[in-house]
Homo-oligomer: A and B are copies of this chain.
């Protein structure tokens, strides 16, 4: 459990440092990715630096993310973790930061004694008032 908690925190530390290889080292070679942005998702190359580097390039500085309400279930070589995470960032061309809260579920698998992220599901809900607006303004 403690090892998994450290991985979850450490990957956001690596992100805040803009360290793409350091961040990807926590992921398995194949990851089922369900991202905040389209497409729906599916299997991706967990070690391809291009998507993460491209995403980082849209910000004035690497985003800072925090993990709250973390719950970890682990047994044998399988684990999953749920949390409500915040992301604070300044988009390039903007001079003010935004903060967005989202849900995060991670699936981990232990391979050769080492836990790796094999699934990541980040999302916000959407308003069912007919507007179909993404609920990017919620707080825990």
A contact residues vs B (CB 8 Å cutoff):
32, 34-42, 69, 71, 73-80, 82, 84, 101-103, 105, 107, 109-110, 118-119, 121, 123-128, 132-136, 138-140
Which residues of B sit under 8 angstroms from A110, Cβ to Cβ? 75
Apart from A36-B125, A38-B135, A132-B134, list 9 A-B contacts with CB within 8 A.
Answer: A40-B102, A40-B103, A41-B84, A78-B79, A78-B80, A80-B80, A121-B121, A124-B126, A132-B136
A135 to B38, CA, bound (A): 7
Q: Using Cβ atoms and an 8 Å threshold, which residues of chain B touch A139?
A: 40
Contacts of A41 in B (CB 8 A): 84, 103, 125
Q: Do the beta carbons of A119 and B34 come within 8 Å of each other?
A: no
Q: How far is the CA of A14 from the CA of B73 in the complex (A)?
A: 27
How distant is the Cα of A86 from the Cα of B42 in the complex, in angstroms? 15
